[in-house]
Structures are given as structure tokens and as C-alpha cells.
A and B are shown apart, each in its own frame.
Chain A
Amino acid sequence: MEILILLLALFVLSLFLGVELITKVPPTLHTPLMSGTNAVSGITLVGALLAAGSETSPMLVNVLGFLAVTFATINVIGGYLVTNRMLSMFKRK
């Protein structure tokens, strides 16, 4: 239970940090912000690796893990690459 409270504290503080950070992003970067944060949400890859890589679990778990790894990797690779592509176009003359 102690750990849960700590996780909850982390969650709530991160939400406040998020508000402080995101409100400072200018509208001109809102699309890269969406694709960039999307890549960050691909952090689920960490959870996916744990599910796909466990030994003792039934077949169904490994299959779900494989799907999770695939989805999350698309998110991570696709998200960072497309964000990088967009951001490198934002140049000052």
C-alpha cells in the first residue's frame, strides 16, 4: 500500500509538472508536440517487453505481449522520426 501511495504522489506531481511545461509550448509547435508526446507515450514499450519476455506465462500472454511490443514500437519509432522530420523544417530565415 505504501508503494501505491508513492506511485499516486508521482502521478499527481507529474500532472502538475505537465501543465506547467505544456502551457509554455507555442501554438506553432502544437503538431510536433502531439507527435512528440505520442512517442513518449510509447514508453508502454517497457511494459510490453516485460509481458512478451516472461518465460512461464501461457501462450496467450506471449501473443498479447508480441502485439503490445509491435504497437508500442510503431509509436516510438514512428513518433520520434516524424517529429524530428517536422521539427527540422522549423527554421528561421
Chain B
Amino acid sequence: MNEQVLSRRPERKGDKSTIGLDSGRAGRIVGRTVMWLFLLVTAALTVFPLLMTLSGSLKTGAEMMTGGSLLPAKMQFSNYAEAWRQANFARYTWNSAFISIIATIGSLLVASMAAYVVDRRQFPGKAIFVTTQASLMFISVGAIVLRPQFDLMVVLNLNTTLWGVILILISAHSSTFFLLLGFFKAIPRELDEAAMVDGSGFMRTFFLIVLPLLTPGLGVAGLFEFRHAWNQYILPLVFTMTNPELQPLTVGLANLRYGSSAAMQIHLMMAGACLSILPMLLVYILANKSFIQVTSGSVKG
């Protein structure tokens, strides 16, 4: 496993017999081979379901039904057009984008404003506020919270729009709050004090001076928030059960399994899966570094 550490060390000759050296080298070659085999097999297993999705999305319904070959006989790009128009994926995509974009902006705004005051000022109840946010990250009572949340949205008349889902997503901003709190600590207080001395008001200082400096933090927190919102399933499922026009990609796709012609639509399901994975994949390819940076950061403390 640690061959790379070993191989960086200049070989020390003389303290081993020739036979020892040879078996050492042979062992190292075997070790390297086993290591690469492990790496490549794991990589292959990781991409296999994604490649199967892509391949399935280009097959005909009949091909999917009978199993047959792993690759499509002829690429059926029309599947995508069919999924987009007839299977309502245009609508689902729009709903997903709407939920994710508004929820991301909303959480960033709510969490950054709160984190700014918590980092820069003293106020009564600060400890309670921070403790509540921290405990909400760890208490897991499952789907039970969805029921009172749903009832509340009915009272507010928001159960027939996507705003209910969006508000609930924004309300769960604990992790974004703590992430941004860390970034605020890195911005020197002297900076906003100097701005205030120069006559800049509180709001002005926050929005025009501090927030722009928080851009890297907002970027990574936003990525996570967007991924979280885009990939939600159970929350929008419960809220849009009776309202197909409001369903996001995840719910719309999963519901295809129940259709009367579900068996004949697997190729459309695969095309839909590709459509819903694609935007996140693009974001990932563009912002790979940030994803990895934040995920790592969560244990570095």
C-alpha cells in the first residue's frame, strides 16, 4: 500500500544480499500490480452503472425489454427528445432548476447574514442560537417532520406551489451556517470597523464590503446546497404527490416506474436519468476542486 513512500527512497545497496534484492524487487512489482488492479477495478465498478445508464438511454424500448447486448444496436438519440417532450422531462427539469437555484440563493443569504452577526457581535441568546443550529444537524427523526411541515404549508397556502419545498430547504441551513462561520473568521474585523469609521452603514458594509470577500466561501457552500437541493427526493415527493406539474426530476423519474407501460419505458427512464445526472456532472467537472476542498475541510476542523 505504501509502495509510493518506499519507491521515493533511494535504494540502499550493500545491506542486502543479491537474492534479497531480487525478491524485494519482484515483490514490489507484484505489489504494484495488485495495487493498480484494485484501483482500476474500483474505478470500473464506479463508472459501470453510469455507462449502463448512458447505453440504456440510447437503446430502443424493445432492446431494453429483452436484455440482449450491453451496447445499443443503433443509437436512439430520439429517446431524449421523447423523454423531454412526451414524458414531461422539460417540466421536471424546470422544476428542479427552480427549486435548486432559489433554495441555494436563499440559504446562502439567510445563513451568511446570521453567521456574520454571530461572528462579529455579542447578543443575548447567542449560545442558544448556535447550540440549536448544531443540534439540528444531528437529531434525525426521519420523515416525521414532514407531516407538521406539510400542515404548516397548507395553512400558509403554499402547498400548491414549490415555495413550500424551497422554504423547508432554506430552513435547514445549519451546515451552511457553520461552513460560512468558518469563512467569516478568516476575514479581519478591522476591515468592517474601518469601513464603519468611514461612514459606511451596517447593511452597506455587509453587502458591499464583507460579502464580496466571502465569495470563495459562498461558492463552495452554494455548490453543496445546490447538490443537496437538486438531489432531493423524499421531500418533494411528499409535497408534489398529487401535483405532477410541480414534480422535480427525481420524483418524475421515479414515478415512471409505476406507469401502466412502465416495462416499455425503461429506455425513457434511462434517458431521463441521464438528463437529471448531466447538469450535476457538468457542475462537478467545472468545480471538482471546490467539492473536494469542502468535503475534506469538514474533518480538518
Q: Do A and B bind each other?
A: no
